[in-house]
Structure 1
Amino acid sequence: MKCYVVGLGPGAFSQMTPRAVQAIEESDVLAGYTVYVDLIKDHFPGKEVLSTPMKREVERCKLAVERAAAGSTVAMVCSGDAGVYGMAGLIYEVAQDYPPIEIEVIPGITAASAGAAVLGAPLIHDFAVISLSDLLTPWQRIEQRLALAAEGDFVICLYNPASKKRSDYLQKACDIV
């Protein structure tokens, strides 16, 4: 009756933390977005796999929590850090509608940290992390956050810079900054 929410890091198996590997090894069930599960499932043979495609996050969390409530140990995986645009918050939210389960969040290396390492050391002072996705946050609020972060002279890490529907959002963000 446990659900680990595991941040896989920036993509390569070698960049997963030892604790993330241990949590998945301790789990009976590996759950997550299909692409992320496919990246790691060969490293964890014998696990039952529950996966859903993009935009099915709530369904994915319900499947994971239901399995944990039924007695399995589940590893819900996500990219980066489970608490930074990851699945941790949604697992806690969904779990409120089920019998109590133990939830443990396993942090991972964020895209901001991984990207900063490639660039050198751009995050050695204050910085802001802003998602350009308007699925849960209105674009007007995102524009305000960008303007205020720029005014505050923060290094700004942008997540979800574009999609088919939002092909011009990165340019809009750059124009605001």
Structure 2
Amino acid sequence: MSWIKVVGTGPGRYQDMTVRAIRALRDCDVVIGYITYINLVRDLVKDKDIIYSGMRQETERCRKALELASLGKKVSLISGGDPGIYGMAGLLYELAKKNDFDTDIEIIPGVSSVSAAASLLGAPLMTDFASISLSDHLTPWVAIAKRLEMAARADFVIALFNPKSRERKDNLPRALDIVLKYRCSSTPCGIVKNASREGEITLVTKLGDLLKYDIDMTTLIIIGNSSTFITGGKMVTPRGYVL
């Protein structure tokens, strides 16, 4: 019986993958994914048929998964982190609906990069938080700016995905200008690059100093709220317990 499993492979290390994810990769016939994510799990799938492609080819990968499943194959469609958080799950369902595809689809959750980054920074997500991607490739900047405005005004801890790339050098400064209308420049912030991968870098700093550091697409930023503090070099956002 054919199937497609959208496999969340976590932030990078084998130790951060779930048992379900590892089992799906072992049980499938074909593995499809972005080349970077394929390379992170290559030792697990070296005996499988492997189909990979570059960035911004998500639609093609999902179409290929549907095509192969329709031919009776068991397909693992790799999605880094968690497939339901800026991942492949929604796109696959959209295409399956559009093409009246009825083969079994299963979403296998994974450790999101925001969870991995938070664990390295301390405990910054102990209360309500908002995750916002600064990539305007699929979402117009006007929508991103509105979400930033609302999240900052409501005093959410804010996790910023895709903060900067060679094509989008100005989105992070624009985002920080919005947040700084509601947060003081001394607000604790965390920078994590390559969470759970080779070249991992973790830094705790202040909102007003963020632009001093090297930030790119492999970086996740967490901006504290009005109650977040730094202790022992770690960020902590109190949940509100009476001590």
**Mapping 1:132-143, distance limit 5 Å:** 132-143=134-145
CA-CA distance at 1:4 after TM superposition:
0.3
CA-CA distance at 1:66 after TM superposition:
0.6
Match 2:129 to one of 127, 130, 153: 127
**Mapping 1:4-83, distance limit 5 Å:** 4-83=5-84
Match 2:118 to one of 116, 137, 144: 116
Q: Deviations over 1:114-160 (max 9, x none)?
A: 11101111111000000111111110110010010000000000111
Gaps of 5+ in 1: none
Alignment-mate amino acid for residue 35 of structure 2? T
Alignment-mate amino acid for residue 149 of structure 2? A
Q: Deviations over 1:45-73 (max 9, x none)?
A: 21000111111111111011111111111
The SS at the match of 2:37 is helix
Alignment-mate amino acid for residue 45 of structure 1? K
TM-score when normalising by structure 2 = 0.71
Higher normalized contact order (CA 8 Å, seq sep 6+, divided by chain length): 1
Larger radius of gyration: 2
Moved over 3 A (4+): none
Alignment-mate amino acid for residue 4 of structure 2? C
Instruction: Report which of the two has the higher share of helix.
Output: 1
The answer to whether the 8 A contact 1:24-1:30 is kept is yes
Alignment-mate amino acid for residue 87 of structure 1? M
CA-CA distance at 1:44 after TM superposition:
2.2
CA-CA distance at 1:98 after TM superposition:
5.0
CA-CA distance at 1:101 after TM superposition:
1.0
CA-CA distance at 1:165 after TM superposition:
1.0
Deviates more, 1:42-51 or 1:25-34: 42-51
**Mapping 1:74-93, distance limit 5 Å:** 74-93=75-94
CA RMSD, Structure 1 to Structure 2 (Å) = 1.0
How many positions carry a matched residue from both structures?
177
The answer to whether the 8 A contact 2:6-2:88 is kept is yes
Gaps of 5+ in 2: 180-243
CA-CA distance at 1:99 after TM superposition:
3.6
Instruction: Report which of the two has the higher share of strand.
Output: 2
**CA distance, structure 2, for counterparts of residue 153 and residue 95 of structure 1:** 38
**Identical positions, percent:** 49
